[in-house]
């Protein structure tokens, strides 16, 4: 059996007035998904337990068949794995967004999608000039800090505690908040909180001073772009302990295509192959066709290939309805056809298409809630539904309150 999973990140949404009361999924022109709908099983699932944050970290772990309550330790350690960062027993990883703060507001949680090259240069300066000051900034948390550049605005900081006592104190003292939850809102309410907040806030303040006249920001200002005014710290966690996918699901060998470190890190924890694709960006300018082509090719060697598309989620964060619709249309036109054609060349195959969580354009951030899924395959008896969208799925009897139960169904295990 060959399997493919396509994840339009954050695509589930609400009816939108500008779309005539339709959701972006209903409004998008998706002839390939429409053709699949009658020969598929369509249902809905809830991937994020209400007591956990509604992000792709929790949602993707559930979508791929893992109970987040068993394996989730935080977002940053998953991304650290993608960067090849080794976390020791007393180490904590934190996500480090390059953001734009202005007039008391979170103007951009991506620093206007700063380039990877610019982000790397900024993080290099932080590592050289700010990291050595850690024990002066946070004498109550002895240890060291390191900054690691990732993709675009997405980076990692690691706190390597001097001992178990320092690590335990850090874990109890620190609460952080994702910057994408506060787009165009006052950021003061989202700064680190708890007993350790003063130290992280002081660290961010020193980074802000460093960035104020940094050559990277001077060049961006001259080009009319938003500067990266700060490094926003959030999503901390320790190294997770996750059973490899092949061990959990009877030897199925998987691979991941994604431009973002979070998904690449999850894949590494699952012991999946990382499939590198040129031209993918994690945004609407990604090379959708290359994703589809590389996924199809990978099915020759692997049992399961997962294609993750971040553009739909980024469009939701921007509140950009038209971009979100266009991103799904591009997935339908450029990703699904080569994957489906390849699958149909095998005697036995299955395809799963599903968002991980909703990112409604109205609120510009992730939310808890159901997502619609579609399963097609050589052994799947279709139920005659004419469309694949939130409304069609909500009317289906196929529902998983615990989203991690969908993957065993999809795999036939």
pLDDT in tens, 209-228: 999 999 999 999 999 999 99
The CATH number for 279's domain is 3.40.720.10
Give me the pLDDT at residue 140, please: 86
Residue span of the structural domain in which 34 resides: 2-72+241-411
pLDDT in tens, 108-164: 999 999 999 999 999 999 999 999 999 999 998 899 999 999 989 999 999 999 998
pLDDT score of 252: 98
Q: Could you say which of 215, 237, 259 is where a domain stops?
A: 237
Q: What is the pLDDT of residue 172?
A: 66
Is residue 77 in a domain?
Answer: no
pLDDT for 173: 67
Q: Report the domain count for the chain.
A: 2
- At which of 237, 270, 303 does a domain end? 237
Residue recorded with tokens 């290359």: 290
- Check whether residue 348 and residue 233 sit in a common domain: no
Below-70 pLDDT ranges, the chain: 172-173
- Do the domain assignments include residue 181? yes
Nearest in space to 24 (alpha carbons), one of 388, 279, 304, 300: 388
- The reply to whether 292 and 394 lie within a common domain is yes
Task: Answer yes or no: do 33 and 140 share one domain.
Answer: no
Q: Are residues 18 and 142 in the same domain?
A: no
Residue-level pLDDT at 406: 98
> Do residues 284 and 322 both lie within one domain?
yes
The answer to whether residues 359 and 392 belong to one domain is: yes
Q: What pLDDT score was predicted for residue 274? A: 96
* Domain identity same for 296 and 231: no
What is each CA distance from 145 to 117, 269, 334, in whole angstroms? 22, 23, 42
Rounded CA-CA distance 299/100 in Å is 41
Site of tokens 């894949």: 267
Query: Rounded CA gap, 165 and 119, in Å?
Result: 33
Angle between helical axes of 215-222 and 116-129 (0-180°, round to 10): 150
Instruction: Choose among 370, 371, 336: nearest CA to 351.
Output: 336
Distance from C-alpha of 363 to C-alpha of 229, rounded to nearest angstrom: 24
**Do 282 and 406 reside in the same domain of the chain?**
yes
Q: Which of 237, 272, 296 is the last residue of a domain?
A: 237
**99 in the same domain as 62:** no
Residue 11, domain member (yes or no): yes
Q: Are residues 259 and 399 in the same domain?
A: yes
Residues 13 and 54 in one domain: yes
226 and 163 assigned to the same domain: yes
């Amino acid at each position: 059996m060959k399997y493919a999973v396509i994840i339009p990140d954050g695509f589930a949404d609400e009816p939108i007035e500008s779309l005539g009361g339709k959701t972006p999924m209903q409004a998008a022109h998706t002839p390939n998904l429409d053709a699949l709908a009658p020969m598929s099983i369509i249902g809905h699932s809830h991937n994020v337990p209400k007591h956990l944050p509604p992000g792709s970290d929790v949602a993707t772990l559930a979508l791929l068949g893992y109970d987040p309550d068993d394996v989730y330790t935080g977002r940053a350690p998953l991304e650290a794995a993608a960067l090849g960062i080794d976390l020791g027993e007393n180490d904590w990883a934190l996500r480090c967004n390059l953001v734009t703060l202005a007039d008391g507001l979170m103007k951009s949680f991506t620093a206007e999608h700063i380039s990877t090259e610019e982000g790397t240069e900024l993080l290099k300066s932080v590592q050289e000039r700010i990291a050595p000051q850690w024990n002066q900034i946070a004498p109550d948390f002895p240890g060291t800090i390191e900054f690691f550049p990732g993709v675009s605005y997405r980076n990692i900081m690691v706190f390597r505690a001097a001992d178990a006592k320092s690590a335990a104190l850090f874990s109890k003292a620190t609460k952080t908040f994702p910057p994408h939850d506060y787009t165009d809102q006052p950021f003061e309410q989202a700064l680190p909180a708890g007993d350790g907040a003063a130290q992280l806030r002081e660290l961010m303040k020193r980074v802000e001073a460093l960035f104020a006249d940094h050559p990277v920001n001077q060049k961006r200002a001259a080009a009319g772009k938003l500067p990266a005014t700060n490094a926003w710290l959030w999503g901390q966690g320790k190294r997770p302990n996750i059973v490899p996918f092949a061990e959990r699901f009877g030897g199925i060998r998987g691979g991941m295509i994604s431009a973002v470190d979070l998904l690449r890190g999850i894949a590494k924890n699952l012991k999946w192959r990382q499939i590198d694709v040129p031209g993918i960006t994690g945004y609407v300018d990604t090379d959708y066709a290359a994703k589809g082509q590389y996924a199809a090719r990978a099915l020759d060697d692997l049992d399961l290939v997962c294609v993750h598309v971040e553009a739909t989620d980024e469009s939701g964060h921007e509140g950009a309805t038209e971009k979100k619709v266009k991103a799904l249309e591009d997935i339908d036109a450029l990703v699904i056809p080569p994957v489906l054609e390849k699958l149909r060349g095998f005697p036995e195959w299955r395809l799963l298409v599903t968002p991980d969580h909703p990112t409604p354009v109205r609120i510009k951030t992730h939310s808890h809630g159901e997502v619609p899924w579609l399963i097609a395959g050589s052994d799947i008896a279709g139920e005659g539904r004419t469309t694949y969208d939130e409304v069609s799925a909500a009317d289906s009897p196929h529902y998983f309150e615990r989203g991690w139960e969908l993957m065993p169904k999809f795999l036939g295990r």
